[in-house]
Amino acid sequence: MRILLSTIGSRGDVQPMVALASRLKALGQEVHLCVPPDFRDWIEGLGMPVTPIGPELRPTGKANPAASLPTPEQRRRMMEGTVAAQFETIGAAARGCDVIVGATALQLAAPSVAEHLGIPYVFAAYCPAVLPSPHHAPPVLAMLGDTPASAPGDYREHWARDAQRWNDHWSSLINPFRASLGLAPVGDVRGHILTGRPWLAADPVLAPWPEPADPAVFQTGAWLLPDERPLSEELEAFLAAGEPPVYFGFGSIRAPQGLGEVMVRAARALARRAIISRGWADLSPVDDAPDCLAIHEVNQQALFKRVAAVVHHGGAGTTTAAARAGAPQVIIPQSYDQLYWAQRVRQLGIGAAHAPGAPTSESLTSALGEALHGDVAARARSIAPTVRDDGAQTAARDVMATAQRKSG
C-alpha cells in the first residue's frame, strides 16, 4: 500500500505527519511525504521519501520591519501560484498512491487530486477550532475578536460567513484546475477541503471535540513523534547548575520584536533562570550572564520534564508536549488556533493565557508568576498521565483500513 501525506506549514504542521508516516512505515506501508523544502533533509534522514512543495518557509520566521504588505494584486498572484503549485506537485506525487492524507486547511489541491485518481482522501486537523461547530468561532474570526454579541455560544452564523470567505478567496482559482481534470466545480470550498468526516488529531483531554457523540468527526488523539535524542552536554550542565529553569520558545513562527529580552527580564523578575530556544525567529538572551542559555532545536519531550515552566506561542505540538511532561505553561498566542490552546490551558488550570500579541516584561512576569503557582504546577502534573500517546498508531490503522475498503 502506498500512502501520500501532504501538509504545508511550519514544523508544527509537519511533525505530526512525520509521526503518522513513521507508524505507517513500521506497519509495513510505503509512505511518501509532500512538505515544504525546509524539512526534506530531516525526513529523508528518517528513511522516508519527500517531494518538496512551495518555497522555503524558514526566512518568514524573522520579522522584517522594512517589508511592506503585499498589494491586493500581489496577494492574488501569490494565491494563484499556490494553487497551481499544489495541483502540479501533489498531482505528480500522488500517482500510484492508494490514499492521500492532508493536514492543515490549505490543502487546496489534494482532495481534487484524490477525486481525479479515484482514491480516498482524509483530512486531519490538529485543533478542534479548525473544524466547524456551533460551540466555537472560526479561528480567523476569533483571532480578530469578531464574535457574535447576540447569541453567545452559538457560532453558526460566523461559520456560514467563514464558508463564504473561503468561496470568495479560492473557488475561482480551484475550479479551473478541476475542470482541466474533468471534475465538476465545487460550490463549498471549505467543505470540499475538510470533507464530510474530518479527523481530529488532538488529545481528547487537552482538546476534546465539543460534541463527543458526533459521528462526523473522528478524534484519533494527537500524532506524536517519539524522540530519543539526548540533551547536549552544555544543556545538561546548565540544568544541573541550579533550580529548574523556565523554557522560552516560539518554534518556527515569527516572534514580536525584542521578545528575547522581554523573556529574560520576566524570568529574572521572578528569580528564575532561563533557557531561550532560538527557533526560526533567532531569539537570544540580552547578555552572556550565566543564568541564561540559548539553544537550538531540542528534544522537548526530555527537556520539558526538567523545567519549571514552558512559555511558548501555543502551537498544538508544544502545548501537548508540555502537558505530557507535566510542566505548567504560559501561552502567548499570535494567530489562528493558538488562541484556542491558550484558552484550554487556562480552563484546565495547567497554565496561564497571556493576551494575544507582543508581551511586555511586566505582562509576561505576571503570567509566568501565575503559571509557577504551586496549585497550577500540581494540576499540570496531575493532567500529564492522562495525555495519550497512541494517536498516530490509531490513525495509521484507520488510514490502512480506509484504503483497503476502497480497494475492496
Instruction: Please report the pLDDT score of residue 65 as a whole number.
Output: 53
Instruction: Please report the pLDDT score of residue 141 as a whole number.
Output: 63
User: Sheet harboring 329-331: ordered strands across?
Assistant: 292-295, 274-277, 246-248, 309-312, 329-331, 351-353
Three-state SS sequence of 221-256: CCCCCCCCCCCCHHHHHHHHCCCCCEEECCCCCCCC
Instruction: Please report the pLDDT score of residue 258 as a whole number.
Output: 87
DSSP state of 294: E
Handedness of CA 222, 226, 229, 234 (dihedral sign): positive
pLDDT tens digits along 189-233: 999 999 999 999 999 999 999 987 788 999 999 999 999 999 999
Q: How far apart are CA 14 and CA 36, in angstroms?
A: 9
118, 138, 296, 357, 374 from 278: Cα distances, Å: 44, 31, 6, 19, 28
- Matching fold, domains 2-224+389-407 and 233-386: yes
Name which of 279, 303, 276, 278 is nearest 291 in CA terms: 276
C-alpha radius of gyration, the chain, whole number: 21
- 3-class SS of residue 155: coil
Name which of 330, 328, 343 is nearest 129 in CA terms: 343
Domain ranges of the chain: 2-224+389-407, 233-386
One CATH from 3.90.25.10, 3.40.30.10, 3.40.50.2000, 3.30.200.20 for 233-386: 3.40.50.2000
Instruction: Please report the pLDDT score of residue 408 as a whole number.
Output: 55
CATH number of 2-224+389-407: 3.40.50.2000
* Neighbouring-strand partners of residue 199: 124, 218
For the chain, residues with pLDDT lower than 70 are: 59-68, 141-153, 406-408
Instruction: Please report the pLDDT score of residue 149 as a whole number.
Output: 40
Instruction: Please report the pLDDT score of residue 150 as a whole number.
Output: 39
* Neighbouring-strand partners of residue 125: 200
Q: How far apart are CA 203 and CA 24, in angstroms?
A: 20
* Neighbouring-strand partners of residue 245: none
The pTM assigned to this predicted structure is: 0.93
